[in-house]
Structure 1
Amino acid sequence: MVKPVVRREVAGHLQKAYGISERRACSATGFQRSSQRYRKRSDPQIELRLRLKELAAARVRYGYRRLHILLRREGWPVNHKRTYRLYREEGLSIRPKAPKRKRAWRYRQGRPEVGGPNEVWAMDFMADQLFDGRPFRILTVVDCHTRESLAIVPRVSFRAYQVVEALDEIARSRGRPKSLRVDNGPEFAGRALDQWAYLNRVEIDFSRPGTPTDNAYIEAFNSRLRAECLNASWFLSMADARERIEDWRRDYNETRPHTALGGLTPNAFARQTYQARNVA
């Protein structure tokens, strides 16, 4: 279906190209003359459009829903329908959506739901490289309830004891989890992590081989880290990588709205959860 604005352009082109009247151009296109002469009377929302474009330029992987939350935080009196309309009119919806995975024919028995903060952590490794092609690895740890990024640790290489050191550093500030979800990588399947879990009474929950959906929380987080930080950055050194990745982690925890948390940031959701527990 052709939009009215496009049909007005077509009728206008016929008038100029063939020197015909507006009546004949509208008759040829099947368009009403009243619609041809229509002019918008609504507020063009110039300031709002400019701010929306600024946010979209700064947050290139955000869709209109997250951009709408950011606008509301800044005090703009706009609903999600207007945000979506301006988002489309400004041509900001240029990011392709990934195809959905087909569902398996049978679901495995699911894990029990995570009941609160610090009950279950998820951990995984990622890989990236510096500007000159030198590779490095990244250890990521998230809280499966609050979606907080507990740590993102980039190093040239990782040994099992360095994973334990990273977990101890997190535990010193917020305590230890009841369960730790990991894959079957050598750093996670070795003795060092197993001994740490035994001494601290932490259950290690291994994913099934070749089944990343068993650890969906960390896989989803890794995809956001990849799209919003790693793919958008040009790391000059390991120090530069650590600084930029840590800046993104703080922004993720303190600023970035999370749709699964009702538009709250992970830190705000964690505070809300702790306050609800104290009241109860």
Structure 2
Amino acid sequence: MARLAVDGGRTNIRHACRTFELSETCYRYQAKASEENARIADWLVRLTTAYRDWGFGLCFLHLRNVKGFGWNHKRVYRIYRELELNLRIKPKKRLVRERPEPLAVPEAINQVWSMDFMHDQLSDGRSFRLFNVLDDLGSPPFSRTL
């Protein structure tokens, strides 16, 4: 607004800045980093085309440690985002589960077997492991007669 008033020739800079409650330094400010930003953007585009799987972190570390540029990471990241170079976070692929097959019902002995691993610890602290293989139609292995 102050710039429009001054450019129109209606008032001077001091009066326009007081009217719009703007400091004269803000009115006169000109960004001088546009050439440097273009240089940063050029480097980022070159790196991301050469190394497609590099994200911002690797690009910034390469520019700072290998190339020796002293740019601020926030500035480089702002330009990285403006160029829309952000890598897409890929969602995890879901495994399509088929319907489980019903359990086989044995008709005779020695047709269907089951196996299991067991692990336990004795009272003195020693541990042991067991591998159990059982016939599904056979008699229960832990049956007792009282």
TM-score (norm 2): 0.39
The structure whose residues are more often helix, as a share, is 1
